[in-house]
Amino acid sequence: MKIVLHAAQDQEAWIAAFRRALPQAQIDPWSAAHAAQADYAIVWKPRPEILPAFSRAKAVFNLGAGIDAIPDLGAIAPGIPLVRLDDAGMAEQMIEYVSEAALRCYREVDAYADQQRETRWQPRPRRAKAEFIAGILGAGVLGAAVAGALRSLGFPVRAWSRTRRRLDGVEGFAGMDELAGFLTRTRFLVCLLPLTPGTTNLLDRARLSLLPHGACVVNVARGGLVVDADLVALLDEGHLAAAFLDVFREEPLPPEHPFWHHPRIVLTPHVSAVTLARETVAQIVDKIGRLEAGLPVTGVVDRERGY
């Protein structure tokens, strides 16, 4: 079995990890000659000329859950499946990140921090947890995991997706016709959607304004889902209470961007759920084994939908 790997970062470390996990396979860095003979391809942020060379591969694996790092899905030959990561240790990290943000918003930690700076002793009325509705945009593997974690904390949870998904104990919404109804009662919005032509700029001023006064927004998916200027304006106007942002249109975020110094924005450098090497290698090795045995695998990308 011949596997060819191309990664924009840490390529040698990835190759070494896969060689340890698959000692019976020949694993080489990308070259046009190697790619033409590859049984499987593993890529991350490939250059435009990388993908067309995998002409006889049985599958192309993406070293990430999001596939927007692949510039042209059409560059992969028809009939060759593109397979993304399902979880690989990311769900637990995402649960930690979102749960901390939810509790920080629900318990009004930032409001008490303001009072501390003012040396003001003023207990605030406790919110009714039943009214602090969490809404998850995106009901895939990570969305389902986050929804379950928020339910375990006692929050009512609703989820929206392009097509209807059923999650235990979660109120479901689907399609653009139901998006407004999903937003109007969501006080804690978590964005876990893939970035596609249909989701780019989805959260603009009109849709963010549908959230109740004092709502919080968390974006741990992709920066292009949210219109930056509209988010800042609604925070400045007091309609939104806070935003927790881990992803951005341009990364690293430029020093002059208004997000850096906004008092109601918590900013982190795309660390809410990092790709873990051991878990990633194990998942891809398992899927290669299933494909070799003629079995189906999860994570196959629908190129028309873009995820």
Q: pTM for this one?
A: 0.93
The Cα 27–Cα 85 span in angstroms is 20
Q: Which DSSP string corresponds to 207-245?
A: HHTTSPTTEEEEE-S-GGGB-HHHHHHHHHTTSEEEEEE
Distance from the Cα of residue 29 to its chain's centroid: 28
For the chain, domains (ranges, CATH) are 2-88+275-292 (3.40.50.720), 90-267 (3.40.50.720)
pLDDT of residue 87: 87
From the candidates 104, 262, 270, 303, which is the catalytic residue? Answer: 270
Per-position pLDDT tens, the chain of length 307: 999 999 999 999 999 999 999 999 999 999 999 999 999 999 999 998 999 999 999 999 999 998 988 988 999 999 999 999 998 899 999 999 999 999 999 999 999 999 999 999 999 999 999 999 999 999 999 999 999 999 999 999 999 999 999 999 999 999 999 999 999 999 999 999 999 999 999 999 999 999 999 999 999 999 999 999 999 999 999 999 999 999 999 999 999 999 999 999 999 999 999 999 999 999 999 999 999 999 999 999 998 888 8
DSSP state of 255: T
Which helix or strand (DSSP H or E) is residue 54 part of? Answer: none
In the residue annotation, 127 being an active-site residue is answered as no
Q: Where are the alpha helices (DSSP H) in the chain?
A: 11-21, 32-36, 90-106, 109-117, 141-152, 179-184, 205-208, 228-236, 277-292
* Burial (CB count <10 Å: 0-12, 13-18, 19+), residue 243: buried
Q: Are strands 188-191 and 265-267 parallel, antiparallel or unpaired?
A: unpaired
Among candidate residues 84, 165, 207, 222, the one labeled active-site is: 222
| Per-residue pLDDT at 77 | 93
To the query of whether residue 56 is one of the catalytic residues in this protein, the response is no
